[in-house]
Chains A and B, each alone.
Chain A
Amino acid sequence: EVQLVESGGGLVQSGGSLRLSCAASGFTFGNYGMNWVRRAPGKGLEWVSGITTAGLNRDYADSVQGRFTISRDNSNNTLYLQMNSLRAEDTAIYYCAKANDASGKNFFDYWGQGTLVTVSS
C-alpha cells in the first residue's frame, strides 16, 4: 500500500524557515517524480514544486521561486521542502504527491494527508 506521511509543519513568524518532510513507502520511491502542492485557507489547490526521479530537475511555482527548495533522499525514501523567507501568504496545508510515472508529463496519483504551515505576521 502506498503511503505518504508529511511532517515538519507548524507555526513560524514571517521571515522564518521550516523544512517539511514526506516519508514514502509501498512503492519504489526512486522511480517516480514527486511534488508538493498546497491549499491555503479558503482557497484552491496550488502546485508548489516538483522534482524528477534522481533530483536532476526541479521546478517551482513563481510564488515560491528563490525561497523554497525541493530535494529528495532516495536511499531513505524521503522528500523534502526547505522553506525560507516565509510570508503570511504561505500559510496553507502542504501535501506531498507522487507522480504516476517517471515521464516529464505526469499526474498525482497518491497524496499524503498534509501538514499545516502557519506563518504569523
Chain B
Amino acid sequence: GEDVEQSLFLSVREGDSSVINCTYTDSSSTYLYWYKQEPGAGLQLLTYIFSNMDMKQDQRLTVLLNKKDKHLSLRIADTQTGDSAIYFCAEDGGATNKLIFGTGTLLAVQP
C-alpha cells in the first residue's frame, strides 16, 4: 500500500528554525505538497515542489526533496507562534488526481 509517514509532534521556541520531515513511497509522484491546518480549520496549501527539483525556497519556507531516499522536508525559518498548526505532506501518486496525505505533524511554537 501507499504510506506517507511523518513524526507526530515537534516543539520549537519562537525564533528558532523548524524542520518537519516526511517519507513517501511512490517514486512516480510528480508533485509533492505541504499543507497547513490551523486549529478548527480545513487544510490550506502552503507550498509544493516539482519532482525534478531538489529545493524550493519561498520566503521563510524551504522545501528539500531527496528522490533517491523518497524524503521530503519543510524548513520554517524564524518560527512564529502563528506557525503553530498541523502540517501535512502529500504526494500525487503519479497524476492520478488523488493526493495521498501523511499522518500530519503537530508543530507547537513556545514563546
A binds B: no
Residues of A within 8 A of B (CB): none
Residues of B within 8 A of A (CB): none
